[in-house]
Amino acid sequence: MARVGLREWLAIAPVIASGRLSRYGGGQDGPLARFEADFCAAFDVRNTLTVCNGTAALIAALVASGIGPSDEVLVPAYTWIATAGAVLAAGAVPVLVDIDETLTIDPFDIERKITPQTRAIIPVHMANMVCDMDSIMRIAREHGLIVVEDACQAVGATYKGRRVGTIGDVGAFSFNQFKNISIGEGGAIVTNDDHLFARARMYHDIGSVFRGHLDNANEPPFCGVNLKASQIQGAMLNVQLSKLDPMIDRMRRRYDAVATILSSTADLRVGPHNDRSNAIGLHVIFDTEKEAQAFAAENPRGVHRVHDSSRHVYSFWKPILEQRAAHPRMSPFAWAARPMDYSPNACARSLDILRRTCRISLGENYPLPVMKFLARRMGRHRNAPVHAYVTTPDYGT
């Protein structure tokens, strides 16, 4: 995850001194406007909208895309609960899709889960592991589906030369404490579609109808909510953006070094990745659950069995599994065209993979020799040869 320090502290001081802290208080030269312009340039995207957090980015992206009641949205079985929760917040229902051994949504299961009510796919670039976007975009175009990329846990990662989050129709990012860009809480929406951008901007600012300086791309105004970011967040984001690519480069070097050591000393086989040359994370998949548990226990620093992070596994999403809403008459499940299957067997393959998988931190903020030493120690702790696949870590919650 990204570090926050003196540079961020110095960046917010003049903003506080100015007294212009609100979203529109800084004008076109304010910190937020500068960040959005620089993010567009760095990510080669037409429009960026900063919001208060990553969940807000997902909700606004779905609303901007016209997702609503009776729609079905495909989401992976392994992701932070906000991915599915955002679908419900937009009035639609999430449909669970299996992951494959890359820990990302399985394109084959996407095709199996499409129904006449399916309107969108949310591929989640989970734990800095990128999705198979070529297959996903092909499926989406064949079926007329919207692609909302959840890049909250992979800010700055690339897929075949393009930043994740910029490949689909609209993308969402998170800048919370555990992400590659970190300001405590924050998020952003990106899109090359001016109409989607105008709708997202209207939704994120309930007062947008009174702001004559906004270009709404001929979209009729509607009443939104308040998901705005502040100029203080913008000031911190400008500093963090300048740190992003150097950190991504460090992660890439550590992936190659640590994966090579584990492969040669612990009989762990480097496995599937949707863009191996740009991998920025690591995980190992064992033959059995017990082997994964033992490996995590032997290496308590930097190794975590994925299934133990229960909040990221669909079988622990109690309010969604029980299909409860804040008010029963506002429940999207009441409007769904069919009953939803959230049983333990809905994505049994995903649960099996997650139980046999361990994440390995790349320690991007530590010297490379330290990470090589830790990797060699992991190899020494491995008592018996067990074939595994090596892929990517989880840097967020």
DSSP H/E element including 323: none
Sign of the Cα pseudo-torsion (18, 20, 26, 30, in order): positive
DSSP H/E element including 312: none
Q: Are the beta carbons of 181 and 241 closer than 8 angstroms? A: yes
The CA angle 307-311-315, to the nearest 5 degrees, is 70
Cα–Cα distances in angstroms (integers) from residue 262 to residues 132, 156, 265, 363, in the given order: 25, 26, 5, 15
DSSP symbol at 180? S
- In this structure, what are the phi and psi dihedrals at residue 321, rounded to the nearest 5 degrees? -60, -35
Q: Measured in whole angstroms, how far is the alpha carbon of residue 73 from the centre of its chain?
A: 16
Instruction: Kindly name the residue from 113, 179, 228, 243 that is annotated as catalytic.
Output: 179
* Closest residue by Cα to residue 264 from 167, 185, 372: 372
Q: If you count them, how many residues does the chain have?
A: 397
Measured between alpha carbons, how far is 49 from 35 in angstroms, rounded to an integer?
10
Question: Is 160 one of the annotated active-site residues of the chain?
Answer: no
Residue 367 CB coordination number (10 Å): 10
* Closest residue by Cα to residue 83 from 127, 139, 125, 124: 124
Measured between alpha carbons, how far is 347 from 365 in angstroms, rounded to an integer?
35
Residue 278 CB coordination number (10 Å): 17
How large is the angle between the packed helices 54-64 and 194-204, nearest 10 degrees? 120
Q: Which residues are catalytic?
A: 179
